[in-house]
């Protein structure tokens, strides 16, 4: 059932840097709670774990581009940035049949050059409004506490499904936010339709 995020309390859970072996456990949790998320995929990891990405697509999650090898996109040449993004588009399409329309620059590092290339490639730039720093603080209770406290209507939550501590925090996050009346949606669902290529989004 579609949720109207103009009137409902919606939040988008997003996961970067995967897939990884622990992603399967995250998918089990999301399926058990009937929650869909958005996965910002690293191309070389898609090639390493194609069956996990195929499952993400099959279970209705949104797939997005997070570059091929996770460089700071402000540093390479324009040609190298295009290659990072195109190569990831190609591998995701090959594995799932899905062509992403969203990307997240590694480290959130973007500039006018990255904006121009993403606009050319038809990719909106998605950043975030809630960051529990789960890559640094590898504690499930802390991750759950920060996300539960900082989430607001229209928030985009940044997490990383390569860390077991983050995956372990997700059941608590879903339970706490559900009690507060939140609906969990993909990034595209949060905005109610296609996003503008090249434009930066942090929340609704």
Check which CATH number belongs to the domain holding 43 and give it: 3.20.20.370
pLDDT at 76: 87
* 70 belongs to the catalytic site: no
pLDDT at 1: 64
Q: How confident is the model over 179-189, as pLDDT tens digits?
A: 999 999 999 99
Above 80 in pLDDT, residue 156? yes
pLDDT at 141: 98
Q: Is 168 helix (H, G, I), strand (E, B) or coil?
A: helix
- Is 48 a domain residue? yes
Specify whether the CB–CB gap between 29 and 204 falls below 8 A.
no
Out of 16, 17, 134, 203, the active site residue is: 16
Q: How many domains does the chain have?
A: 1
Q: Is 32 helix (H, G, I), strand (E, B) or coil?
A: helix
* 16 belongs to the catalytic site: yes
Above 80 in pLDDT, residue 71? yes
Out of 17, 61, 66, 160, the active site residue is: 160
**Residue 105 token pair:** 């620059």
- Is 5 a domain residue? no
pLDDT at 91: 98
Average pLDDT, the chain: 97
Q: Name the residue range of residue 77's domain.
A: 10-201
Above 70 in pLDDT, residue 201? yes
Task: Identify the burial level of 48 via C-beta atoms within 10 angstroms of its C-beta, where 0-12 means exposed, 13-18 middle and 19 or more buried.
Answer: middle
Looking at residues 151-160, what average pLDDT do you find? 98
Above 80 in pLDDT, residue 169? yes
- Is 76 a domain residue? yes
């Amino acid at each position: 059932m579609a949720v109207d995020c103009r009137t409902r309390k919606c939040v988008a859970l997003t996961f970067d840097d995967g897939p990884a072996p622990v992603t399967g456990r995250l998918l089990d949790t999301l399926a058990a709670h009937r929650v869909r998320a958005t996965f910002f995929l690293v191309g070389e990891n898609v090639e390493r774990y194609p069956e996990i990405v195929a499952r993400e697509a099959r279970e209705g999650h949104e797939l997005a581009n997070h570059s091929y090898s996770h460089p700071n996109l402000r540093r390479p040449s324009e040609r190298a940035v295009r290659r990072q993004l195109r190569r990831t588009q190609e591998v995701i399409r090959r594995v799932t049949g899905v062509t992403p329309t969203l990307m997240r620059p590694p480290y959130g590092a973007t500039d006018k050059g990255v904006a121009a290339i993403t606009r050319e490639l038809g990719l909106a730039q998605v950043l975030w409004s809630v960051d529990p720093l789960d890559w640094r603080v590898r504690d499930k209770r802390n991750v759950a506490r920060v996300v539960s406290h900082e989430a607001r209507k229209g928030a985009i939550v940044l997490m990383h499904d390569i860390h077991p501590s983050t995956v372990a925090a997700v059941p608590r996050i879903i339970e706490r936010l559900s009690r507060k009346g939140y609906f969990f949606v993909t990034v595209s669902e949060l905005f109610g339709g296609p996003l503008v290529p090249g434009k930066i989004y942090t929340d609704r």
